Structure 1
Amino acid sequence: MKLVKEVIARFPADAAILDPFSGTATTTLTAAERGNSALSFDINPFLIWLGNVKCRSYSVEHLACIQDDARLAIGRVPSLIKNDNWVPPLFNIERWWSAGTLQVLAALRAGLVEVFGEPTEDRTDGLAWVAFCRLVIETSAAAFNHVSMSFSSETTHHEVEHVTYLYLAILDAVLASGSAQLQGTGEVVEVDARAIPKMGRRFSLVVTSPPYPNRISYIRELRPYMYWMKFLKEAREAGEMDWKAIGGTWGIATSRLNEWGPNSKVLPEILTDTVGRIAESGGKNAPLMATYVHKYFYDMHLHLSSLPNVLEPGAELHYIVGNSSFFGNMVDTPAILAASMQMLGYSNTVSKIIRKRNCNKALFEYDVSASWPG
């Protein structure tokens, strides 16, 4: 966040800013708060919805209406809890919530639907649903305090009063965060960053943080929200989305790696060397992981190939990325990306360390910057 603010601050308020890997829309919101016009790309419908909810301005009156309507929904919970309410078809859901807690959450969701309707892009009361998303995690047995989630050995039953009180507390915090009026504009649209089309808008600054090549599936972490919000209906949809995502390796996305191969596109020699070392390392599933790294940078090369379709001449790029290691073989992400940029005609490529990522002395985050001559 600090680096994003520092980079954006060097540009005039009328500079158009792009984040081709939106995630939770941090860059777009930061730019809009400052007064810039910003756009983000994503392929995940939940993240598109969430980003646009975050990047709206809300009047005091509108926020008060959301709060009042949420209290109406909560008032419906005692009667709704007696019904057979819908629950998400999340695999092994009992390790997330106890049967009693799940019953309360389902009743609260039904109440919110009665008052607000299902969460959709064209509604402006999404903050109530953002609070519900936070609630389902707060009441779950899941923990996100390391590179992947884990679960407590036992789920906790939460009574109706506790769940509704917690929801209102979370909603108050969400509404408070949405009270600031944005000076600029921000929007998230559905675009595959590997194949960016020509658009009516062009951008003078790109600030983004794509997924890292570390085999962590972001869709896996988002599943509980996406199921509860009905952006996912079955597990296969999650795997399909992960396959489209750069760096996705969960479910069917992993099995498809065995059949994947690059087209005849010429890629940087440093990538070829890295992939070869991983494949020959002798580690478990080493050839599969070598293919994973190959596909990651192949997809990033496709992205950088299509990015000029929306760049102003002289546009500046900043990619926040992390390196990784497979079976003792370092994947020098900044060097490989810089080589792709240079091969594709970008200039002034520079890589600098931002911070150390964890206790592993060799893992860092970098800012890989470049410019597009046009």
Structure 2
Amino acid sequence: MTKHTEQRSDYTFKYNTKLGRHGWLRLTPAYSVKLVQELVSETPKNAFILDPFSGTATTGLCAIEMGMSAHLCDINPFLIWFGNTKLFNFSGRKLNELEKVFDEILNSFPAKISNDNWVPNLHNIERWWCGHTLPIVAALRSEIVEKVGEPQDDPYSNLIWICFCRLIIETSSAAFNHVSMSFKGGVTKFEVHQIQSLFGSIFENVLASARKPLKGKAVVNSIDSRCMTDVDNIRYAHVITSPPYPNRMSYIRELRPYMYWTKFLDKASEAGELDWKAIGGTWGIATSRLKDWAPSEVELPKILLNSCEAILNSGDKNSELMARYVHKYFYDMHLHFASLRNLLEPGAKLDYIVGNSTFYGIHVDSDKIYEKSLEILGYTNISTTIVRKRNSKKELYEFCVSARWNG
């Protein structure tokens, strides 16, 4: 892979939005399709690829578009549901049938607007959708449920739900002018005909990309990456993944509107529980539980312990919490690297896309800490390549940390 020190928009989520299935739903931290394609092209033919941090299933989709096979892992039920729909090879005939169902939904939902339709228990929901738009969106959801049921294991009806997720975010006051989601200055008012037009356009684009056949096969499994488990006795030749970065940016925050509207979440405490299970999670109770967390006796890189001590001594009121956060993040990643070894073929290659971080002016060099963890655990041929510069002022970069497992 070529070394890049500039800010590369083609190596970010922005590039993905123009690429068929890759652009079905926006998740800001998703890594670049172009970068993954470069890494997949290095995989031996007929070999199995593993992504232990599936996210929006970018690795799996790149793999099967190139005729490879892949297993992906995640703990978030919404991302597992979304990823498996995204990776499905659809039948043209059944998509034609789905198109008729969609047209019925589009034409009939306005009759439900005056009903007392269900809306999610999303805190401060009026900040997301104004009092005029919300009943229209709720009526559309009610009609979808009546025609195809709630989100489920059927990939065809799930396409309509994915389009609905796109619709709710595009009609909301959410703004994406930062590394994560924020809010615009005010909510936008949508009329029924505008909702119909937008929903129809989204479905048309999703349907067109769903019609394109996929060459390989991939599946997302519910597995905690800290304790990787065997799936069908498969051994992997290449691990291509991008774990959460150690920067306290909660993925669950950006996923919440999707997860509430699809009933994968019902209340804020569930979001906190899920984020606590995630590596680097920070939402709700994840922060409060961090105060009581302590590592077990595991050999960790000295560079990590030095970074934690520097953060602890920085003098900020939250320095102890942040030092503990950084410690736990890399402790969890160390457990992941350790449990991964039993799933790898001899000679397997690892490629981890990760960014560095700063806390109170102290640099946390993720690439160097990853390297040392891998070395402690017996991996070889360890190296790091700069993928791109993320922030010119803070000297934040994205790296590809690579290694081999020789068994």
Name the TM-score class by shorter chain.
Answer: over 0.9
SS at match of 1:76: helix
Equivalent residue number for residue 378 of structure 2: 345
Evaluate the alpha carbon distance shift between residue 266 and residue 12 of structure 1 in structure 2; reply closer, same or farther with a 3 A threshold: closer
Give the Cα–Cα distance (whole angstroms) in 1 for the partners of residues 111 and 141 of structure 2: 13
- Aligned twin of 1:191: 223
Per the alignment, residue 82 of structure 2 pairs with 50
What SS does structure 1 have at the residue aligned with 2:309? helix
Describe the superposition over 1:284-343 as per-residue Cα deviations: whole angstroms up to 9, x where unpaired.
Answer: 301110100000000000100100121111110000000000011100000000100000
Separation of aligned partners in 1, 2:188 and 2:34: 37
Q: Counterpart of 2:391 in 1: which secondary structure?
A: coil
| Aligned with residue 241 of structure 2, among 208, 221, 231 | 208
**Aligned partner of 1:289 among 302, 322, 325:** 322
Contact 1:139 / 1:158 at 8 angstroms: preserved in 2?
yes
Q: After superposition, what is the alpha-carbon deviation per residue over 1:48-74, rounded to whole angstroms, capped at 9, x for unaligned?
A: 000001001112222222222111112
In the TM superposition, residue 123 of structure 1 has moved relative to its aligned partner by 4.3
- Bigger drift between 229-238 and 112-121 goes to 112-121
Structure 1 residues 272-283: aligned runs within 5 Å: 272-283=305-316
Q: 1 CA distance for matches of 2:110 and 2:354?
A: 48
The whole-number CA distance in structure 2 between the counterparts of 1:75 and 1:122 is 23
Residues 98, 156 of structure 2: 8 Å contact kept: no
Query: What does residue 169 of structure 2 align with?
Result: 137
How much does 1:361 deviate?
4.9
Aligned match of 1:160 = 192
1:121 aligns with 2:163: no
Distance 1:253 1:40 in 2: 24
Does the Cα contact within 8 Å between 1:73 and 1:114 map onto a contact in 2? Answer: no
Query: Per-residue deviation at 1:283?
Result: 1.9
Identical pairs, percent: 55
C-alpha separation in 2, matches of 1:42 and 1:360: 33
Range moving further from structure 2, 338-347 or 146-155: 146-155
Q: Is the 8 A contact 2:387 2:399 kept in 1?
A: yes
Choose from 335, 343, 363 the match for 1:310: 343
Aligned equivalents of 2:317, 2:243: Cα separation in 1: 27
Alignment partner of 1:180 is 2:180: no
* SS of the residue 2:253 aligns to: helix
| Stretch of structure 1 that moved more, 59-68 or 316-325 | 59-68
Q: Structure 1 stretch 325-334 or stretch 352-361: which is displaced more?
A: 352-361
| 1:20–1:41 Cα contact (<8 Å) kept | yes
**In 1: Cα distance, 2:364 partner to 2:95 partner:** 47
Quick check: 1:17 aligned with 2:17?
no
Residue in structure 1 matched with residue 401 of structure 2 by the alignment: 368
8 A contact 2:381–2:404 mirrored in 1:
yes
- Cα deviation code 1:201-240 (max 9, x no counterpart): 1110000000000110000110000000100011100000
- Is 2:127 the counterpart of 1:108? no
Q: Secondary structure at the match of 1:125?
A: helix
Alpha-carbon contact 2:243-2:352 (below 8 Å) kept: yes
Displacement over 3 Å in runs of 4+ = none
CA distance in 1, matches of 2:137, 2:70: 35
Q: Structure 1-normalised TM-score?
A: 0.98
Structure 1 match to 2:331: 298
CA contact (8 A) 1:13 1:34 kept: no
Whether 1:320 aligns to 2:353 is: yes
SS in 2 for 1:335: helix
Aligned-residue offset at 1:13: 2.8
Distance 1:64 1:330 in 2: 54
Paired with 1:148 and 1:365, the residues of 2 have a C-alpha distance of 16
- The number of equivalent residue pairs is 374
Match of 2:109 in 1: 77
- Deviation (angstroms), 1:147: 2.1
Amino acid corresponding to residue 277 of structure 1 in structure 2:
A
Corresponding residue for residue 251 of structure 2: 218
* 1:6 counterpart = 2:33: no
1:171 maps to what in 2?
203
